[in-house]
Amino acid sequence: MKTLFLITSLLFASACFAGPGHGHSHGPVDTCKKLATNDLKTSSKNIGMCHVSRLIKAGKIDPSWSGASHVSSETKTFKGNKEWVVTFNNEKGVKGKNLYVFLKLNGGFVAANFTGK
């Protein structure tokens, strides 16, 4: 009888851990993409700066990049895929003075680097 009670208790105990608020994502959520508008040429600056802030918080780039200035936003083709390249300049940059943020045409994040390639 004790064994039956124990098994029943364990089966129902797992229901205690169920509940809302658990997403089913297999990758990072691109919170900066929500800043995209129909005119991505204009909104790319805000999306790019959002990713700069995210990279600073993640420790990927130096905190001095929070004061970076927007240089340009333009589309380029890489291996047959068209992307937005948003360029920021920071004279206090440790690894480089220019940071290139690559975005999909819909505003989704692709990559960021100091080479532009």
pLDDT digits (tens, 9 = 90+) for 58-108: 888 889 898 899 999 998 988 888 998 999 998 887 788 899 999 988 888
Helix (H, G, I), strand (E, B) or coil at 13: helix
Which CATH number is 85's domain given?
A: 3.10.450
Helix (H, G, I), strand (E, B) or coil at 90: coil
Domain that includes residue 65, residue range: 29-113
Predicted TM-score (pTM) of this structure: 0.69
Q: Which helix (H) or strand (E) covers residue 81, if one does?
A: strand 81-89
- In a domain, residue 43? The reply is yes
CA distance 6 to 113: 56
- Token output for 16: 């205690």
pLDDT digits (tens, 9 = 90+) for 1-59: 777 666 766 666 666 556 555 544 445 556 777 777 677 777 888 888 999 999 899 88
Long-range pairs for 61-67: beta carbons < 8 A, 24 or more residues apart: 61/95, 61/99, 61/112, 62/92, 62/93, 62/94, 62/95, 64/90, 64/92, 64/93, 64/94, 65/90, 65/93, 65/99, 67/92
Number of domains, the chain: 1
- In a domain, residue 89? The reply is yes
- In a domain, residue 1? The reply is no
